[in-house]
Amino acid sequence: MPRDLSHFVSGAHAPGRSGQFGDVFDPNTGEVQARVPLADRREVEAAIASAAAAQPGWAATNPQKRARVLMKFLELANAEMDPLARLLSSEHGKTIPDARGDIQRGLEVVEFALGIPHLLKGEFSEGAGPGIDVHSIRQPLGVVAGITPFNFPAMIPLWKIGPALACGNSFVLKPSERNPSVPLRIAELFLEAGLPPGVLNVVNGGREAVEALLEDPRVQAVGFVGSSPIAQYIYETCAKHGKRAQCFGGAKNHALIMPDADLDQAVDGLIGAAYGSAGERCMALSVAVPVGQATAEALMARLVPRVEALKVGLSSDDQADYGPLVTGEALARVRRYIDIGLEEGAALAVDGRDFRMQGHEHGFFIGGCLFDHVTPSMRIYREEIFGPVLSVVRADSYEEALRLPSEHAYGNGVAIFTRDGKVARDFASRVAVGMVGINVPVPVPIAYHTFGGWKASGFGDLNQHGPDSIRFYTRTKTVTSRWFTAASENAFVLPTMD
């Protein structure tokens, strides 16, 4: 019998009251393991009200004390790393080592936010005019919200929660209904760490819950990660309602392989970046671009046996390269794209569609797939597949290869494999993509730099984590002060710096 999950509001678990539920699957078996309540507008409004009531007291807590709560949360989360990873793996399908990485990359952003006493320091100008000083201060926005995806159920929520709470905001999280248990556990751990009840609330739900967050005037800012059409919709809706928004969408990340590249290193990078986590990453490398036909042939000669040798296994198998996809719907979507690629004329060099996990035939498994001779006009090149599928697009020259990621609708991440520093420097300068890796296949920046894509991969002026996160979750107030030593003769004149 599937267990019933809950929301987390005002520091306690709250059962769903809408009467609507979603299924949480075990990706290894295809069976429903839990039911998650889908909040209606009234339930979301109750969570917002809780956050609004708790926020002034949290904002009045000095930054150092707020950082201590985050520090205690880190201690608790690290102590519970293995149970959290198993829980994440059981609902998502990524392997347990991969799940640990999901959690760790989220915790690193919380570690960055521990520096909030320094990060919130403003600016000061003494003697800006006769007896005039000017200083700026950064203050929290109030209630903020996060709408986060299934593929990183720990990392993305923590990327948003950590900086937002450190800045003095309260937070309403709407995680993916496909794997909500880790976000709920994160809320429990923050409460145990000393976060006041109501400062962090978790509501599960679908479109009605999202619309409630977007339209409620008490919510000052929204962070989103998901598909590009939804990212653009949320960005536009937030703008209509006068909210800040940082919305991140899809990707089609390319890797250029230059003729001078270390092909063994390049193939190692491609295998991990394209097939890790079953390709369900916005930073997955899904397009390999060998430069020159000789490079292409040599690359394919190494890639084909490596893809054929990928070990697909249960998410609990530490030796597996990757596990199942998250749902049957996700599996069907990937299969459709492979059919589309064949219809469009791409060569399927490795076909993983017939893979079945013995004893788990109803699980959401698929073997690694590799397309060759893909062209920019094909849908499998233009659209995000979000599965263990790598497409090879052959380029005759560096300039042709450079144009491919630069002219693609998405602009999240890109990589180049080369031994030539001049080429690497030119590529990093000219490519029209937000995050660049040089001999680094998955160029996710470290926590104290910022993460964000260009073009249809990102909507909004500020990115995730790093200094941008502090700017996003605060507003600047500038104070001009003057202390008179004698009566002013120009009381009706605008003060100047003279």
3-state secondary structure 175-238: CCCCCCHHHHHHHHHHHHCCCCCCCEEECCCCHHHHHHHHHCCCEEEEEEECCHHHHHHHHHHH
Q: Report yes or no on 71 lying in a domain.
A: yes
Q: What spatial distance separates the first Cα and last Cα of the chain, rounded to whole Å?
A: 77
Q: Hey, is 84 helix, strand or coil?
A: helix
Domain endpoint, select from 438, 466, 490: 438
Give the pLDDT score at 180: 98
Do the beta carbons of residue 197 and residue 53 sit within 8 Å?
no
Q: Tell me the C-alpha distance between 494 and 193, whole Å.
A: 50
Q: Quote the tokens at residue 312.
A: 């697909």
| Residue 335 Cα distances to 270, 288, 300, 352, 368, angstroms | 21, 20, 22, 10, 11
Q: Report yes or no on 492 lying in a domain.
A: no
Q: Tell me the C-alpha distance between 471 and 461, whole Å.
A: 10
Q: What is the largest CA-CA distance in the chain?
A: 90
Same domain (yes/no): 268, 182: no
Which residue is it, tokens 């996003």? Answer: 472
What are phi and psi for residue 146, nearest 5 degrees? -130, 135
What are phi and psi for residue 451, nearest 5 degrees? -115, 125
C-alpha angle 455-404-224 in degrees, rounded to nearest 5? 25
Give the pLDDT score at 483: 87
Same domain (yes/no): 182, 318: no
CATH number at residue 305: 3.40.309.10
Same domain (yes/no): 412, 464: no
Q: Report yes or no on 190 lying in a domain.
A: yes
Mean pLDDT score across all residues of the chain: 96
Give the pLDDT score at 1: 84
Same domain (yes/no): 399, 306: yes
Write the CB contacts of 45 (distance below 8 Å, at least 6 apart in sequence): 212, 216
Give the pLDDT score at 484: 79
Same domain (yes/no): 210, 257: no
Amino acid occupying residue 412 = N
Q: How many domains does the chain have?
A: 2
Residue 133 domain boundaries? 3-249+457-478
Same domain (yes/no): 244, 257: no
Q: Quote the tokens at residue 77.
A: 């989360």
Q: Report yes or no on 497 lying in a domain.
A: no
Evaluate the CA torsion angle 376, 380, 385, 391 in order and state its sign: negative
Count of C-beta atoms within a 10 Å radius of residue 15: 10
Same domain (yes/no): 238, 355: no
Q: Report yes or no on 483 lying in a domain.
A: no
Same domain (yes/no): 230, 321: no
Q: Quote the tokens at residue 285.
A: 């490398």
Write the CB contacts of 214 (distance below 8 Å, at least 6 apart in sequence): 222, 234, 237, 238, 241, 243
Closest to 111 measured CA to CA, from 146, 75, 74, 157? 74
Write the CB contacts of 236 (distance below 8 Å, at least 6 apart in sequence): none
Q: Tell me the C-alpha distance between 48 and 459, whole Å.
A: 24
Which residue is it, tokens 């009200």? Answer: 49
Q: Give the length of the chain.
A: 498
Same domain (yes/no): 109, 206: yes
Q: Quote the tokens at residue 110.
A: 């919380």
Do the beta carbons of residue 127 and residue 133 sit within 8 Å?
yes
Q: Report yes or no on 485 lying in a domain.
A: no
Transcribe 329-359 into DSSP letters. Answer: HHHHHHHHHHHHHHHHT-EEEE--TT---TT
C-alpha angle 84-89-94 in degrees, rounded to nearest 5? 135
Domain endpoint, select from 385, 410, 438: 438
Q: Report yes or no on 445 lying in a domain.
A: no
Count of C-beta atoms within a 10 Å radius of residue 76: 14
Q: Report yes or no on 47 lying in a domain.
A: yes
Do the beta carbons of residue 390 and residue 270 sit within 8 Å?
yes
DSSP state of 312: B
Give the pLDDT score at 492: 58
Count of C-beta atoms within a 10 Å radius of residue 402: 23
Q: Tell me the C-alpha distance between 220 and 235, whole Å.
A: 13
- Please identify every stretch of the chain with a pLDDT value under 70, giving residue numbers as ranges: 485-498
Give the pLDDT score at 223: 98
CA torsion, ordered 87, 93, 94, 95, to nearest 10 deg = 70
Same domain (yes/no): 384, 468: no
Residue 27, CA atoms < 13 Å, CB-side half-sphere: 32
Give the pLDDT score at 410: 98
pLDDT per residue as tens digits for the range 256-303: 999 999 999 999 999 999 999 999 999 999 999 999 999 999 999 999
Q: Quote the tokens at residue 467.
A: 């200094």
Same domain (yes/no): 257, 243: no
Q: Hey, is 111 helix, strand or coil?
A: helix
Catalytic residue positions, numbered: 282
CATH number at residue 7: 3.40.605.10
Same domain (yes/no): 123, 49: yes
Amino acid occupying residue 129 = G
